[in-house]
Amino acid sequence: MSETNPVVYQPSAERMRASRMYDYMQWLAREGIAEVADYDALHAWSIDALEDFWTSIWDYTGVIAEARGNTVLDSRAMPGARWFGGARLNFAENLLREAIHGDADKTAIVGLSESRETTRLSYGELLSQVGALEAWLVAHGVGAGDRVAGVVAHTHEPIVAMLACASIGAIWSSASPDFGVAGLVDRFAQIEPRVLITVDGYRYGGKDFDRRDRIDALCERIPSINHVLVTPNCGLTPPDDSRVTAWADALAAHRGATPSFTPQPFEHPVYILFSSGTTGAPKCIVHGAGGALLQHSKELMLHGDIGRDDVFFYFTTCGWMMWNWHVSGLLTGAQLVLYDGNPGHPDMNLLWQVAEHEGVTHFGTSAKWLAGCRNADIAPGANHDLSALRVLFSTGSPLLPADYDWVYAQVKADVLLGSISGGTDIVSSFVGCAPLLPVRRGEIQCRLLGVAAAAFNEAGQPVIDECGELVCTLPLPSMPVGFWNDADGSRYREAYFSRFDGVWSHGDFVLFTAAGGAIIYGRSDATLNVGGVRIGTAEIYRQIEPMAEIADAMVVAQPHGDDARIVLLVVLNHGYTLDDALKNEIRQRLRENASPRHMPGVIEAVSALPYTRSGKKVEIAVARLLRGMSIDNTEAIANPDALDEIRDIETLGISRD
């Protein structure tokens, strides 16, 4: 496979030697820990000497802890492996190390927004706000283990709130403000938060959305909420309610307080994240502070090559795990750039303008947004000064080969295009980028350090250059400590360990190449099975979405006769019509570049495709729809009207009983 995927970026020897990963390899040798010549050798050592590897990450990245404990890993068995028993640390203290031990005057956060003026906070100012908010939380009865829920925009306030919670050992959980009340209740009622932190409103694409009316509704339906803190996202007056405090008033009441940074056990929860919930109630995934800290330190410092002099931007919402990943960038001492609003308003050049103006060195976004830039036919490299840009992160869905071409032709020829893939389940990645390796067209560069990832066939055997189930055969520190309200761990085991005994099964369909790269072919539960052949949805998207006529596409399998047929739904670019000629062109392209089995039985045009609020195609929900089944939860879908349009397509023969 790798022979057909040409190298589109090769790091120079100078850039490799300047990377933090190279420095880490030299440090391993100086400390007498390991001698490794290249990335392949480094990865092999990180798996063979798993405990030594994670100890080295702790030491090299400078984890601050009261104690490290006596045991690195009590057992390699899964589930149930426990890391760093006896360790005690504080997540917030580690993320604020620059404020405590470095340059407190250094800029920590630049917050950009459609609805408010730019905010700039130094590390010292961030530390002060965290101390004040922690004191407010404590005064309102919040302690270790209590939950605080945020309905928040990607501004500085939720970062302050999360750090204040982590400082005292409370657990942070957040969602974006575009969720409806039912969707928020589906998530937060399960974890019974004591405090709700919410925006007054938000602006998206120039349109304002007042969210103050949600406060009463949420408090009524989630009776555990005793206090509400309102952030001034749109400058609206908070409700006159004894339960409600304005953000500025909370900070002013406790100005001068300092964070406690109370040490907690390694597995003490820091986050509760939620599965998408498109086919049922969202699962509440509990992540430990130590695991998230170690995994993010490794990924951001070594794989992402982020340091104190860097400027790190990621376009995300607070309901996507990339928010958690982005915020952890503080532990590197870098400057974070945030953006709250529509990334395509007034046009697709907006975020590239942000990158130019702020001198962004590390730019993160979704594969869908990059495809949108390509479809808009923009040329960021020609129209913006991107000289500072070194790394471009992409995630959320497989990055099409055509978008690799677009990035290197229209963004920057010497940028490291870091396609990464993991998930909410591990609040990090299995596969991603490395500054020592070339980038091949259409491929994720590598398995990440300490990650024993493989593709398993139906028999549970590892395969190379063949599609299979993405699995992890050894434990990771950031695997969940469990699900909320799952005392016996049965739901947790069912989610990840029911497919292959003792092996984490992630739910993605993947191919690992002989050269070490990875190609994700979509969710395995959305894999098409036609004529007994498994087809990853991305195999079809790779061929169809780069076509000039196609703005977006979705494929699902629908039972048909004694087998199944592929249904292809397309959104057309302006000025095109789905006529017989275009349908024939699509089928011919798939026949020639994939196989006859990849050709759809039905092709229909729609005005929009349904996506989750974190930008993922909801293939499973559409597949259920095409089977005449109910869709249990549309609150997780950003545009549920798209499902109604699909339901009304007569040629699909959907049952309407």
Q: Which residues contact 468 (CB under 8 A, 6 or more apart)?
A: 454, 455, 456, 457, 462, 509, 510, 511
153 close to 202: Cβ distance less than 8 angstroms: yes
Query: What integer pLDDT is reported at residue 466 of this predicted model?
Result: 93
The Cα–Cα gap between 531 and 528 comes to: 10
Cβ neighbours, 10 Å, residue 345: 14
Give SS3 for 637. Answer: strand
Query: What integer pLDDT is reported at residue 278 of this predicted model?
Result: 59
Q: Say which DSSP state 392 is in.
A: E
Average confidence (pLDDT) over 281-309:
97
Query: What integer pLDDT is reported at residue 1 of this predicted model?
Result: 40
pLDDT in tens, 117-127: 999 999 999 99
Tokens in use for 197?
A: 């932190």
72 close to 273: Cβ distance less than 8 angstroms: no
195 close to 149: Cβ distance less than 8 angstroms: yes
Query: What integer pLDDT is reported at residue 578 of this predicted model?
Result: 95
Tokens in use for 57?
A: 């990450």
Average confidence (pLDDT) over 69-87:
95
Q: Which residue has the tokens 């050269």?
A: 515
Neighbouring-strand partners of residue 520: 510
Sheet of 428-432: strand order equals: 421-423, 428-432, 446-447
Query: What integer pLDDT is reported at residue 533 of this predicted model?
Result: 67
Average confidence (pLDDT) over 55-62:
98
pLDDT in tens, 426-465: 999 999 999 999 999 999 999 999 999 999 998 999 999 9
pLDDT in tens, 551-597: 999 999 888 776 788 999 999 999 999 999 999 999 999 988 887 88
The Cα–Cα gap between 654 and 646 comes to: 9
Dump strand ranges (E) for 127-268: 147-151, 171-175, 195-199, 201-204, 207-210, 227-231, 244-246, 264-265
Average confidence (pLDDT) over 38-56:
98
Architecture of domain 527-652: 2-Layer Sandwich (3.30)
Query: What integer pLDDT is reported at residue 535 of this predicted model?
Result: 80
Backbone angles phi, psi at 295, to 5 degrees: -65, -45
Average pLDDT score over the chain: 94
pLDDT in tens, 459-487: 999 999 999 999 999 999 999 999 999 99
Cβ neighbours, 10 Å, residue 559: 12
CATH topology of domain 98-265: Rossmann fold (3.40.50)
Query: What integer pLDDT is reported at residue 450 of this predicted model?
Result: 98
Query: What integer pLDDT is reported at residue 655 of this predicted model?
Result: 56
Backbone angles phi, psi at 193, to 5 degrees: -70, 145
93 close to 264: Cβ distance less than 8 angstroms: no
Cβ neighbours, 10 Å, residue 269: 25
Query: What integer pLDDT is reported at residue 531 of this predicted model?
Result: 65
Q: Which residue has the tokens 């009524």?
A: 220
pLDDT in tens, 167-192: 999 999 999 999 889 889 999 999 99
Average confidence (pLDDT) over 25-47:
98
Query: What integer pLDDT is reported at residue 2 of this predicted model?
Result: 42
**DSSP-assigned letters across all residues of 342-388:** -TTSS-TTHHHHHHHHHT-SEEEEEHHHHHHHHHTT--HHHHS--TT
3-state SS track over 544-588: HCCCCCEEEEEEEEEEECCEEEEEEEEEECCCCCCCHHHHHHHHH
Neighbouring-strand partners of residue 268: none
pLDDT at position 279 over 60: no
More confident residue, 644 or 380: 380
Q: Which residues contact 331 (CB under 8 A, 6 or more apart)?
A: 61, 94, 95, 97, 293, 296, 297, 300
Can you give the residue ranges of every domain in the chain? 98-265, 527-652
pLDDT at position 615 over 70: yes
Domain pair 98-265 / 527-652, same fold: no
590 close to 599: Cβ distance less than 8 angstroms: yes
Residue type at position 284 = C
Residue type at position 261 = F
The Cα–Cα gap between 353 and 355 comes to: 5
Query: What integer pLDDT is reported at residue 523 of this predicted model?
Result: 78
Average confidence (pLDDT) over 188-201:
98
- The kind and range of the H/E element at 139 are helix 123-139
More confident residue, 278 or 342: 342
pLDDT at position 657 over 50: no
Query: What integer pLDDT is reported at residue 526 of this predicted model?
Result: 74
Cis? peptide before 11, omega within 30° of 0: no
pLDDT in tens, 391-406: 999 998 889 999 999 9
- The kind and range of the H/E element at 214 are helix 214-221
Residue ranges of the alpha helices (H) in 363-453? 367-375, 380-383, 401-406
